[in-house]
Structure 1
Amino acid sequence: MNTVNILGVPFSKRTFSETVALVQAQIAAEDKPLFHLITANPEIVMAAREDQQLQTIVKEAGIITPDGIGIVLAAKWQGEPIQERVTGYDLLIRLLEEAKQHRFSLYIVGSDEETNAKAAQIIADQYDGVTIVGRHNGFFKPGQEEALVADIAQKRPDVLIVALGAPNAERWIFKYKSRLSAKVAFGVGGSLDVIAGKVKRAPVIWQKLNVEWLYRLLKQPSRWRRQLVLPRFAVTILTSRRR
């Protein structure tokens, strides 16, 4: 099978390169429904256990990739190993880098106006083959959503990226996916902040040691409450495994 079930969430076993190829194939395809890609971490897995709507969202997703070393370790403990993490940021950057050969149009939603505009400009300047057909910051009011959805539908982007935070981005895409007229949509977390230079990503050595989460925690101590989900996730996995 191409997936491993971790506490009810079906994670893809595809490698990073295989996932990139799958997304590019979806971009190249015509007349298909929106392909909702979710990069999920332990936080989303634990939230889905208590949220019926989120359970539906992950079950109906086109693919769920392992964004977090906790997911990779859980799959290993279950005897169904996943080869590597596939994060939203890395996936987005690879798609941008390969846009010379696999051209696509992009619509950007999320983050504050300054960050959104700067990230869009950097992408337009640095990545040939990417056409930015629209953008909007993430601080829209409920009454503005209809106009935003209509604009995305009219622009018909190949790829829609949404930086509203997880799982808010996933909920937003799911809510409007039948109307967005995009080929691929996925949440990108804080990727726009990194691209715009507002936030620095963990050094490569931290990434290779799979402690990027610790780097972010040291840089943003206010994240400690969110990190409490990690021991809960580990205990739940181990308990489930023993059963």
Structure 2
Amino acid sequence: MVKDMSKVVSIMGIPFNNLSKQKLIDKLFNQEMTKGFIVTANPEIVMETRSNEDYKNCILKADYVIADGIGVIIASKWIKQPLQERIPGFELMMEMIKYASSKGKSCYFLGANEAVNLKAVENLKIQFPDLIIAGHHHGFFDLDDRKIAEQVQEASPDFIFVALGMPKQEQWIAKNIDSFSKGIFMGVGGSFDVAAGEVKRAPDIWIKLNLEWLYRLIKQPFRWKRILKVFEFIFRIILKKY
């Protein structure tokens, strides 16, 4: 896969692909991409790259860096290089699963705890009866454990969804992707929790108003420190203190 550098907007040194959700899907599916690394980056991820050079290099290794967070969209508008739209990681994952189901492609689900991982796979199989599950494994393992990567390789999946949370999920992908002959890799954070029914997404009206972050904060007050990172991100953009 050749890194797509068309229409890139740099925010704090992270190159975001300026694509609509539909255009991204067209590039992934109509061009039959067989190997690649997708990052859906929010302000928290961008801020982490400021203090973690290794993590930044992992993000820069991605073929596509997509804006998943209204804070990134606001920042792009402030620097007068507006990104077309926010593309939530969960929605992109579901589009990829839908495509895989319709085309006889297989998926591997790596991450979350064992119960959530299994429930997510079961629910997705109910929603997409034709989905081929190449395999699944919980996320409680050492990132340096080559056996896990080898296990995924042996399953030969077309799509690999990694739910280890940041920075671990992107670090694991960047560390192992070169040893795979095929597979589209994407870090999906808490998406397995949503797929398992453990966490509910915000109602559509909240999502349309770009207030999903506020809904999550109301439902999960312990996230307040993460929300502070978003505001720090915005202030740094405004003050040009990158």
Give the root-mean-square deviation of aligned CA atoms.
1.9
Asked if 1:138 corresponds to 2:139, the answer is: yes
> 1:32-111 to 2 correspondence within 5 Å?
34-111=35-112
1:182–1:88 CA distance, 2 compared to 1 (3 A): farther
> 1:151-230 to 2 correspondence within 5 Å?
151-230=151-230
Q: Does the CA contact (< 8 Å) of 1:152 and 1:181 recur in 2?
A: no
Q: Does the CA contact (< 8 Å) of 2:100 and 2:106 recur in 1?
A: no
Report the alpha carbon displacement of residue 19 of structure 1 after superposing the two structures with TM. 1.2
TM-score (norm 2): 0.91
SS in 1 for 2:15: strand
Correspondence for 1:12: 17
Q: Cα deviations across residues 38-64 of structure 1 (Å, max 9, x unaligned)?
A: 000001111111111122112221000
Report the alpha carbon displacement of residue 129 of structure 1 after superposing the two structures with TM. 4.1
Question: Matched residues in 2 for 1:182 and 1:207: separation?
Answer: 33
1:74–1:22 CA distance, 2 compared to 1 (3 A): same
SS in 2 for 1:109: strand
Q: Which runs of 5+ in 2 are unaligned?
A: 1-5
Q: Does the CA contact (< 8 Å) of 2:97 and 2:107 recur in 1?
A: no
Q: Does the CA contact (< 8 Å) of 1:108 and 1:135 recur in 2?
A: yes
Report the alpha carbon displacement of residue 103 of structure 1 after superposing the two structures with TM. 3.4
Q: Cα deviations across residues 93-142 of structure 1 (Å, max 9, x unaligned)?
A: 12223345433110100011111111111222221442111100011246
Q: Cα deviations across residues 164-202 of structure 1 (Å, max 9, x unaligned)?
A: 112211011111111244420011111111111111111
For 2:69, give the aligned amino acid: G
TM-score (norm 1): 0.91
1:12–1:146 CA distance, 2 compared to 1 (3 A): same
Identity level (%): 38
